Amino acid sequence: MHIKRLLLFSLLLAGCFSLTGCFDLIEQIDMSHRGSGTIKATLNLSKSRTKVASLLKMKQFNGIAIPSESTIRQEVAKVVQTLKSTKGITDVRYQLDFNNYIATLSCNFEHIQALNDFSRTLSNQFKTQITSYNSYRYDQATRTFTRSYTYTPDMAKQFSKVPNDDKSLFSDAYYTNIIRFDKNIQSQSHQDAQISANKRAIFLKVKATDLIKGSTSLTNTITLVK
């Protein structure tokens, strides 16, 4: 998914998201050694719920349009409908919690191409180039899973426009990626990622500001035991 907007939910909550700063974005992929699996993305703004609640009552803030709860629900419904019609994607589910400001979206993918089509579908829906920054590959013969991520300087350019007082809010914003497999992990290439004790999951947590500045990457090659 496109990290410039920090995945789908930043697009759905564009106004609020860019102003709250304090958030947790969690992406979880559960994948079989045959190449099928599920993906779930969760945006947790509960740490900033008071500010989010105030923003949702406004139409604009510093020239940025603030989507209403109704608009957010409508946009999510459109995304879900589009994903349901995407080949290879099934069981699309979502939940919007406007009490704690937590949003989730999940689906099954039949093969790795469907996982990439998931990103491509969202790119078409929101007219953003998601797939050019993030893509997945899986070689079933060698049981090698690869995530390719390309940093775009435009992220830092857009962040530079944020007032200095608001930039400090992002110090407590994180992106977490968890990938689980049904076979043991033999190796992985990301210097900051960790292999779980049972050898079947990869855990990576990075600061949002590091992604924005390009000081870290999400690229990783994971090889499973045959």
Q: Please check whether residue 203 is in contact with residue 188, taking contact to mean a CB–CB distance below 8 angstroms.
A: no
How large is the average pLDDT for residues 177-200? 97
Quick: pLDDT tens for 194-220: 999 999 999 999 988 888 888 999 999
The rounded distance, in Å, linking the Cα atoms of 34 and 12 is: 32
CA-CA distances (angstroms) from residue 17 to 6, 46, 79, 151, 173?
Answer: 10, 12, 18, 21, 11
Q: Is the pLDDT of residue 1 over 50?
A: no
State pTM to two decimals. 0.84
Answer whether residue 17 shows pLDDT above 50: no
Side-chain half-sphere exposure of 134, counting CA atoms within 13 A: 20
pLDDT of residue 208: 82
- Measure the CA–CA gap between 27 and 20, rounded to whole angstroms: 20
Residue with the larger pLDDT of the pair 108 and 69: 108
Tokens representing 120 are 């491509």
47-97 tens-digit pLDDT: 777 777 777 777 766 556 677 788 878 878 888 888 998 899 999 999 989
Whole-number Å distance between alpha carbons of 176 and 204: 6
Residue bearing the bigger pLDDT, 221 or 166: 221
For range 106-120, the mean pLDDT: 90
Q: Two tokens at 193?
A: 């990622």
Tell me what the mean pLDDT of segment 94-103 comes to. 88
* Average of per-residue pLDDT across 163-182: 81
Give dist(CA 136, CA 147) in Å, integer: 5
Confidence (pLDDT) at 123: 65
Handedness of CA 187, 193, 197, 201 (dihedral sign): negative
pLDDT at position 182 is 97
Question: What does each C-alpha distance from 113 to 71, 72, 105, 110, 128 come to in angstroms?
Answer: 31, 28, 19, 8, 19
Residue 154 has pLDDT above 90, yes or no: no
| C-alpha span between 127 and 144 (Å, rounded) | 31
Tokens of 76: 């999510």
- The residue assigned the tokens 């992220």 is 155
pLDDT for res 2: 40
The per-residue pLDDT for 111 is 95
> How far is 214 from 34, CA to CA, in rounded Å?
33
